[in-house]
Amino acid sequence: MNHAEQVRHAGPSPLGESGYRTGLHWNTNSRARARAAEVIAEHRAEQTEVVRDAHLRFDWAAHAVRSPDLLRTVQDTIGGSVAVENTFLMIKWPGRDFPVPWHQDGTNPRMQLDPELSVAAWLAVTDATTVNGCLQVIPGSHAAGYLDHTREDSDAQRGKALGVQGMPDGPHERGVWLPLDAGQACLMDVRLIHRSDNNTTAGARVGLNIRYVAPGAVRSSSPHSPSLYPLTGSGW
């Protein structure tokens, strides 16, 4: 997929005017915290910030992507046939400089997701607060469609998303914080502009990022299209 083949996809969101939904649960608070403690213990020595393919590596994450409240809402949003296109854990360690710039989950130089047929989820494994790096979103920002992003650089190798061009490095006047307790989740339109800040607390913050797709959602430049992990329905 070269630049000319990218589609802007401006327009309304299957998640309504705001382009996101909160109030979802993927686990109980205490079980989520127990999973977070395991993740933190495993990765503390290396201070790993991004753990890819969490749903293939951890049983708890494989269960999380199918958690009933979340999956039902995903199906209501993009239809009954749902697969996981991508997951990763993001760990923000105390004292590390690791802000995630304003970005959109549904586009990168290698692929683009159809926003009618895909949705992004962010699951709080620890509590996520305004001081440890919870998400900030710009409500309604999906409506302008996919925007130009900065070029890939060393940050991308580190696992960080590419930033939307022209956005500030920090908070935005229209930005809304989305603090979540461990065990809670939110869904976002894949065009919704969002970021997360540094963790300024003494404890690690852990979040599980998921991209869900329906059949036909992925446009890819790679001869090896992403391998999907079907959860429900047919057409895969």
Ligand X SMILES: O=C(O)CCC(=O)C(=O)O
Cβ-based nearer residue to ligand X, 81 or 128: 128
Q: Which residues pair with 134 in a beta bridge?
A: none
In this chain, which residue has its C-beta nearest to ligand X? 196
**Which parts of 166-195 interact with ligand X (CB under 6 A)?**
194
Cβ-based nearer residue to ligand X, 183 or 207: 207
- Cα atoms in the Cβ-side hemisphere of radius 13 Å centred on 181: 9
Which of 51, 100, 162, 218 binds ligand X (CB under 6 A)? It is 100
d(CA 162, CA 231) in angstroms, rounded, equals 28
Shortest approach of ligand X to residue 4 CB, angstroms?
25
Shortest approach of ligand X to residue 42 CB, angstroms?
18
Cβ-based nearer residue to ligand X, 83 or 204: 204
Q: Is residue 116 close enough to count as binding ligand X by CB under 6 A?
A: no
Residues in the chain: 236
Residue 42 CB neighbour total at 10 angstroms: 12
**Which parts of 7-46 interact with ligand X (CB under 6 A)?**
none
**Which parts of 194-213 interact with ligand X (CB under 6 A)?**
194, 196, 207, 209
Residue (of 55, 13, 6, 7) closest to 35 by Cα position: 55
Cβ-based nearer residue to ligand X, 71 or 106: 106
Contact 186, 26 (CB under 8 A): no
Which of 106, 133, 175, 183 binds ligand X (CB under 6 A)? It is 133
Cβ neighbours of residue 16 closer than 8 Å, sequence gap 6 or more: none
One-character DSSP codes across 128-177: B-TTTT-EEE-TTGGGG-S--BPPP-HHHHTTPPPPBTT--SS--TT-EE
Shortest approach of ligand X to residue 88 CB, angstroms?
7
Cβ-based nearer residue to ligand X, 81 or 182: 182
Task: List contacts with ligand X (CB under 6 A).
Answer: 90, 100, 105, 133, 161, 194, 196, 207, 209
